[in-house]
Amino acid sequence: MPVEISIYPSGFAKELAKPGAYELDISSDKVTIRAFDTSGAFYAMQSVMGLIDSNNPAELPVVSIKDAPRFQYRGVMVDVARNFHSKEAILSTIDQMAAYKLNKLHLHLSDDEGWRLEIPGLPELTDIGSKRCFDLDEKSCLLPQLGSGSTTDNFGSGHFSRADYVEILKYAKARSVEVIPEIDMPAHARAAVVSMEARYERLMNEGDEAAANEYRLMDPEDTSNVTTVQFYDKKSFINPCMESSTRFVDKVITEVAAMHKEAGMPLSTWHYGGDEAKNIKLGGGFQDVNAEEKVAWKGDIDQSKQDQPFAKSPQCQAMIDSGDVKDFGHLPSHFAEQVSKIAADKGIENFQAWEDGLKYSEGADAFATSNTRVNFWEVLYWGGASTIYDWANKGYDVVASNPDYVYMDFPYEVDSKERGYYWGTRATDTRKMFGFAPENMPQNAETSVDRDGNGFTAKGEFEAERPFLGMSAQLWSETVRTDEQFEYMVFPRVLAAAERAWHAADWENPYKVGVEYSQDTNLVDKDALLADWTRFANVLGQRELAKLEKAGIDYRLPVPGAVVEQGELAMNIQFPGVALQYSVDGENWLDYNDEQRPSVTGEVWVRSKSASGNLFSRVTQVQ
Full DSSP string of 355-375: GGGGTTS--GGGSSSSEEEEE
Are 337 and 461 within one domain? yes
Just list the catalytic residues: 276
Say how many CA atoms lie within 13 Å of 413 toward its Cβ.
Answer: 13
pLDDT tens digits, residue range 495-522? 999 999 999 999 999 999 999 999 999 9
pLDDT at 55: 76
Residue 355 pLDDT level (bands cut at 50, 70, 90)? very high
Residue ending a domain, among 498, 525, 552, is 525
Q: Which of 551, 507, 615, 493 is nearest to 50 (CA)?
A: 551
Average pLDDT over residues 224-233: 97
Are 44 and 125 within one domain? no
Determine the Cα–Cα distance for residues 281 and 300; give it in Å rounded to an integer. 10
Identify residue 531 by its one-letter amino acid code. A
Q: Before 186, cis peptide (omega within 30)?
A: yes
Are 30 and 107 within one domain? no
Are 227 and 357 within one domain? yes
Determine the Cα–Cα distance for residues 113 and 123; give it in Å rounded to an integer. 17
Say how many CA atoms lie within 13 Å of 51 toward its Cβ.
Answer: 17
Average pLDDT over residues 412-426: 96
In contact, 549 and 610? CB cutoff 8 Å: yes
Determine the Cα–Cα distance for residues 618 and 558; give it in Å rounded to an integer. 8
Identify the CATH number of the domain in which residue 520 sits.
3.20.20.80
**C-beta neighbour count of 594 within 10 angstroms:** 10
Identify residue 102 by its one-letter amino acid code. L
pLDDT tens digits, residue range 572-620? 999 999 999 999 999 999 999 999 999 999 999 999 999 899 999 999 9
User: Would 544 be classed as within a structural domain?
Assistant: no
- 492 Cβ contact partners less than 8 Å away, ≥ 6 residues apart: 430, 540, 544, 545, 548, 555, 556
| pLDDT at position 54 over 80 | no
Average pLDDT over residues 378-384: 98
For residue 576, the 8-state DSSP code is T
Residue 277 pLDDT level (bands cut at 50, 70, 90)? very high
pLDDT tens digits, residue range 66-85? 999 999 999 999 999 999 99
SS3 readout for 4-34: EEEECHHHCCHHHCCCCCEEEEECCCCEEEE
Are 102 and 229 within one domain? yes
Are 181 and 147 within one domain? yes
Determine the Cα–Cα distance for residues 388 and 584; give it in Å rounded to an integer. 51
User: Would 73 be classed as within a structural domain?
Assistant: no
Phi-psi region of 510 (alpha: psi -120 to 50; beta: other; left: phi over 0): beta
| pLDDT at position 623 over 90 | no
Q: Which of 441, 466, 467, 471 is nearest to 456 (CA)?
A: 441
pLDDT at 52: 87
Strand, helix or coil at 441?
Answer: helix
Enumerate the β-bridge partners of residue 207.
Answer: none
User: Average pLDDT of the chain?
Assistant: 97
User: Would 368 be classed as within a structural domain?
Assistant: yes
Residue ending a domain, among 499, 525, 551, is 525
pLDDT at 57: 80
pLDDT at 288: 97
User: Would 554 be classed as within a structural domain?
Assistant: no
User: Would 239 be classed as within a structural domain?
Assistant: yes
Q: Which of 273, 210, 213, 215 is nearest to 245 (CA)?
A: 215
Are 229 and 351 within one domain? yes
Are 187 and 237 within one domain? yes
Are 175 and 38 within one domain? no
Are 414 and 433 within one domain? yes
Cα end-to-end span (Å), the chain: 55
Are 38 and 94 within one domain? no
Identify the CATH number of the domain in which residue 602 sits.
2.60.40.10
Identify the CATH number of the domain in which residue 47 sits.
3.30.379.10
| pLDDT at position 53 over 90 | no
pLDDT tens digits, residue range 38-51? 999 999 999 999 99
pLDDT at 73: 99
Average pLDDT over residues 108-124: 99
Number of independent structural domains in the chain: 3
Residue ending a domain, among 37, 67, 97, is 67
Task: Determine the Cα angle at 106 with ends 105 and 110, to 5°.
Answer: 140
Identify residue 339 by its one-letter amino acid code. V
Determine the Cα–Cα distance for residues 7 and 18; give it in Å rounded to an integer. 12
User: Would 550 be classed as within a structural domain?
Assistant: no
| pLDDT at position 261 over 90 | yes
Average pLDDT over residues 468-489: 98
Residue 14 pLDDT level (bands cut at 50, 70, 90)? confident
Identify residue 236 by its one-letter amino acid code. S
User: Would 551 be classed as within a structural domain?
Assistant: no
User: Would 378 be classed as within a structural domain?
Assistant: yes
pLDDT tens digits, residue range 179-213? 999 999 999 999 999 999 999 999 999 999 999 99
Are 36 and 155 within one domain? no
* Domain range for 160: 78-295+310-525
Residue 397 pLDDT level (bands cut at 50, 70, 90)? very high
